[in-house]
Chain A
């Protein structure tokens, strides 16, 4: 197991290839957001690099795919113009935050527009990566300013990226402006070792249960939440089930003489 023939071991010393190098001319089809790499943005954000195929670990390269290296690249920072109402909204937000004494560059780490077609279309989504210490101020600005007016929060969703060092846990907020007919996404990334995010219940009371759910499923602690208890799992449940390191569970099922393994032990294609 520990010798040099393992599928992943031999490749782990090499530098991590970038998406364009690995995927070649098809990278534009396969990695959403990769077109921004050449536009002066920070390029796609690689959150994980996968090696091998079919979920094989610790055996020789029996499949012939052991040398495969696949970076997982999420859409990167967008470049101006963002398109549509996005530029105006970001400018207004910067102005309102400035009035509140918060520097825009401190509060908003990154602006992502995905997809970013030219010309912009209705399917494009605006994402603001928010620094956690300014999350409540950003929410308040987005809700209260008359040119932003994202008065309806549609809850919090967690995502776990276990290989994105220092940014393992993401809390994702979706806000809707009924007034202007707009939508925006806020994303806060925190390290697994310090999973604290300020609670937004003071701005959006509806996030109460959604934050409890995200705590329950991902272990993100929402500071100053009025009662951060588990909501779906039993109160004394150990662990946070939606995290990637939490097993799905399941038992092999026998059917007509054949045995069907549980889903998380079946062959993996990615």
Chain B
């Protein structure tokens, strides 16, 4: 809304100008305005979404078309804004993971890890995080990357009518979600990574479970590759569609597979390593075609690279069996390691016995840490991780208290959606679906 006080908003033009009436911006997405503009002209304005099966959630696209050609494409977002960043300012630093995991719901472990890495840097305990905790984080993030790419490939295929691609993608993802469930108890919204380490160690037999699941995931990935990469219809739909060259990517801040498809091997895991990524052996696949087809190839290739990292992480997990997964500082570390009891509920009965029966001080400590939380020195920090969709940044500000003063997430999907107009204008209407799918936006992350 422009109130007349602020001059920076685009002013209303012509005789519509009335300082007493709020004006609405077309780029903010008001349908009446756009439709009125188009009256009497030889063009059609199509509203696609927010409830459209091929817009990956509640993305709204406003397309101006001339025949089958898209002459203008605009995005409308905000339909899934839930104020997660605002909510985080009212909870402790540890509770923050419960919130940020819900942003990009297909890649929850990346938000958790980035947020916890930022918190640890503010606390100055980055070097104290146990090695086993970092290994588990890397393992979980790479499994999550595969799961996220599988959804991208599967839904992308489904939007073009290739239902089998979707069923294979989701079946393969199911194998990974079972692993997540074994470790965190949940298939999404884990809140598993915590400031200082991870919530608890992986269960017994987890390494074998992952080793048993990996051949299945590889099998499904192979099937996806067979179905898509040489399929003439698939290639015809994707090749030279949604092109965004390197200059466009850099100007629009587009990162992740889309940037790498334009030829720049920029990967945060290599450029600014975190959680010990510099010690893992993996490649960053790139292409120079800068089109939707090359992005599909890159995502499949990235899945195989992630599986390489998973294998290395599994070997390290075996070497560090029994080591700590949380910092030793009892002022930060959660007081108990939870264990699944005979009733299937998670709790640490030994710990409860100790604090309720033997040690008043331990009870006070537990109560203070859980309800009040720990204090984080004042300052600000910027931490990024390589998210499946690009560079995820966390800007965490502390005022020295027990809650984040500000936690801002630079979500890659939010940024990358700016490229929709560049990628779609001049193309066919059917190409819009393909181009948006190649950006792989997740609206939970876009709107937060």
Contact = CB atoms under 8 A, between A and B. Distances in A.
B18 interface: no
Interface string B364-398: 00000000110101111110100000010101011
Interface string A162-205: 00000000001010101001010100000000001001000011
A231 interface: yes
A269 B253 contact: no
Contacts of A44: 378
B418 to A, nearest CB: 5
A234 B79 CA distance: 9
Given A31-B377, A204-B253, A221-B6, A174 B415 contact: no
A216 B403 CA distance: 23
Given A31-B400, A154-B384, A206-B418, A230 B28 contact: yes
Interface residues of B, number: 68
B415 A270 contact: no
Interface stretch (A59-67, A68-76, A90-98, A99-107): A68-76
A206 B415 contact: yes
B1 A152 contact: no
A48 B399 contact: yes
Interface in B403-426: 403, 405-406, 408, 410, 414-415, 417-418
B7 interface: yes
B87 A248 contact: yes
A192 B236 CA distance: 54
B162 interface: no
A210 interface: yes
A209 B418 contact: yes
B133 to A, nearest CB: 17
B298 to A, nearest CB: 18
B400 A205 contact: no
A270 B402 contact: yes
Interface in A126-163: 127, 151-155, 157-160
A52 interface: no
Nearest to A248: B90
B27 interface: yes
B410 A155 contact: yes
Contacts of B10: 226-229
B395 A172 contact: yes
A16 interface: no
21 contacts: A33-B378, A33-B379, A114-B380, A115-B379, A157-B408, A157-B410, A176-B391, A178-B266, A185-B380, A204-B253, A205-B252, A209-B418, A224-B8, A230-B25, A232-B447, A237-B1, A248-B87, A263-B91, A264-B90, A269-B373, A269-B402
Given A32-B122, A154-B384, 13 more contacts: A32-B377, A48-B399, A154-B253, A160-B406, A204-B251, A209-B417, A210-B415, A228-B8, A231-B77, A232-B447, A248-B90, A269-B403, A270-B401
